[in-house]
C-alpha cells in the first residue's frame, strides 16, 4: 500500500470531490463505496473496483485487513492518516475503508411487466438507500426515480442501500407522468385523499407500480393523476403519516405476503 499524507495530493482531491459533489461524480464518472460490508457486497456481485483507500486505524480492523487480503496486489491501495481520511469520507463517522468504482452506464428504460417502485421527489439519501434495500429484500428488481430525487449512486445512498444497488435496475431522471400510463398493471399511489382505499383491501397478486412521494410534499399532482388507485395505510395510532421508507416496507411486504400465499 502507498501512504499519502497531503491534502494537495491529486488522489485526495479526487476523493474529496467524489464524496461531496454530485456534479463532480458525473464529470468523473465515478463514485465511492464506504465501509467493508458494502465493498464486500460489490465484490460478490462482480463490481470492478478501481482503487481502495484505508485509514491508518482501519488497517488494524480485522474485516478491513481481510478485505485487503482478498483484493490482492492487482488493485491500487492507499493508506491515509485518520484526519486526512475523515476529510475525504462521505459520512460523519468514517468507516476506515473506501473503494472507487465507475458509475454504471445508463440503460434505456423499456417495457416493465414486473412489480416496481416509483419514487417522486424522495430527497433524503438515507430514505432513498433504505427504500432500495427494502425493494431488493422484497424481490422487486426495478426502481424508477423522478427528477428531484437524491442521486441513487451518491456515497450516502449507497451506504444506506448496503448492496441493494448491485441487484436492482435503477433508472434516474424518469419522466413519470409520461411513462406510467403505459404500464400494464396497477399503478398504486400512497395518498391521504378521500377516495383512497385501504392497502389491506387490495388484491396485490398482479404486477403493481408502487408510487411514493417525497418526505414532505408527497406525490406530485401530475404523477398522482397517473394512478389507477390511491392507497391508504391504516394507522390506528395517533400519528397521521409514516416515513416514506416505512410506507414502502409496509406496502411491498403486504404484496409479498399475498404472493406467498398463492
Nearest Cα to 52, choosing from 142, 146, 66? 66
Residues of the chain with CATH 3.30.1330.30: 2-102
- The reply to whether the predicted model has a pTM over 0.95 is no
- pLDDT digit string, tens, across residues 54-93: 999 999 999 999 999 988 778 999 999 999 999 999 999 9
- Residues of the chain above pLDDT 70, percent: 98
Range of lowest pLDDT (51-55, 75-79, 161-165, 193-197): 193-197
Residues of the chain with CATH 3.40.1280.10: 116-260
Nearest Cα to 168, choosing from 84, 231, 112? 112
CA distance 201 to 76: 55
- The three cell numbers locating residue 217: 410534499
CA distance 138 to 183: 20
CA distance 245 to 134: 8
Range of lowest pLDDT (129-133, 139-143, 233-237): 233-237
CA distance 135 to 147: 20
Work out the mean pLDDT of the chain and round it to a whole number.
93
CA-based angle 215:170:258, to the nearest 5?
75
Confidence of residue 261 (pLDDT cuts 50, 70, 90): low
**In the CATH scheme, what architecture does the domain 116-260 have?**
3-Layer(aba) Sandwich (3.40)
Confidence of residue 175 (pLDDT cuts 50, 70, 90): very high
Domain 2-102 has CATH 3.30.1330.30: yes
Give pLDDT, residue 176: 96
For cell 476506515, the residue is: 96
Task: Report how far apart, in Å, the C-alpha atoms of 222 and of each of 151, 213, 225, 231 are.
Answer: 22, 12, 5, 17
* pLDDT mean over 1-30: 95
- pLDDT digit string, tens, across residues 182-195: 999 999 999 877 68
Kindly report the number of other CB atoms within 10 A of residue 221's CB atom.
8
Amino acid at each position: 500500500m502507498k501512504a499519502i499524507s497531503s491534502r494537495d495530493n491529486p488522489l485526495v482531491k479526487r476523493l474529496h470531490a467524489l464524496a461531496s459533489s454530485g456534479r463532480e461524480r458525473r464529470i468523473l464518472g465515478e463514485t465511492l463505496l464506504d465501509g467493508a460490508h458494502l465493498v464486500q457486497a460489490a465484490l460478490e456481485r462482480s463490481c470492478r473496483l478501481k482503487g481502495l483507500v484505508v485509514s491508518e486505524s482501519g488497517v488494524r480492523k480485522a474485516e478491513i485487513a481481510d478485505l485487503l487480503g482478498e483484493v490482492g496486489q492487482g488493485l491500487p491501495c492507499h493508506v491515509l492518516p485518520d484526519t486526512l481520511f475523515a476529510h475525504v469520507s462521505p459520512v460523519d463517522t468514517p468507516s476506515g475503508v473506501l473503494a472507487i468504482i465507475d458509475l454504471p452506464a445508463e440503460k434505456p428504460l423499456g417495457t416493465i411487466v414486473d412489480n416496481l417502485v416509483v419514487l417522486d421527489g424522495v430527497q433524503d439519501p438515507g430514505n432513498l438507500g433504505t427504500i432500495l434495500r427494502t425493494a431488493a429484500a422484497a424481490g422487486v428488481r426495478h426502481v424508477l426515480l423522478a427528477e428531484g430525487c437524491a442521486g441513487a449512486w451518491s456515497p450516502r445512498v449507497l451506504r444506506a442501500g448496503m448492496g441493494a444497488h448491485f441487484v436492482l435496475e435503477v433508472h434516474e431522471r424518469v419522466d413519470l407522468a409520461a411513462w406510467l400510463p403505459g404500464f400494464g398493471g396497477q399503478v398504486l399511489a400512497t395518498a391521504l385523499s378521500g377516495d383512497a382505499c385501504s392497502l389491506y383491501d387490495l388484491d396485490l397478486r398482479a404486477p403493481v407500480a408502487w408510487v411514493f412521494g417525497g418526505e414532505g410534499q408527497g406525490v406530485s399532482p401530475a404523477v398522482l393523476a397517473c394512478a389507477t388507485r390511491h392507497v391508504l395505510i391504516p394507522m390506528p395510532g395517533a400519528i397521521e403519516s409514516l416515513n416514506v421508507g416505512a410506507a414502502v416496507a409496509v406496502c411491498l411486504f403486504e404484496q409479498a405476503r399475498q404472493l406467498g400465499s398463492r
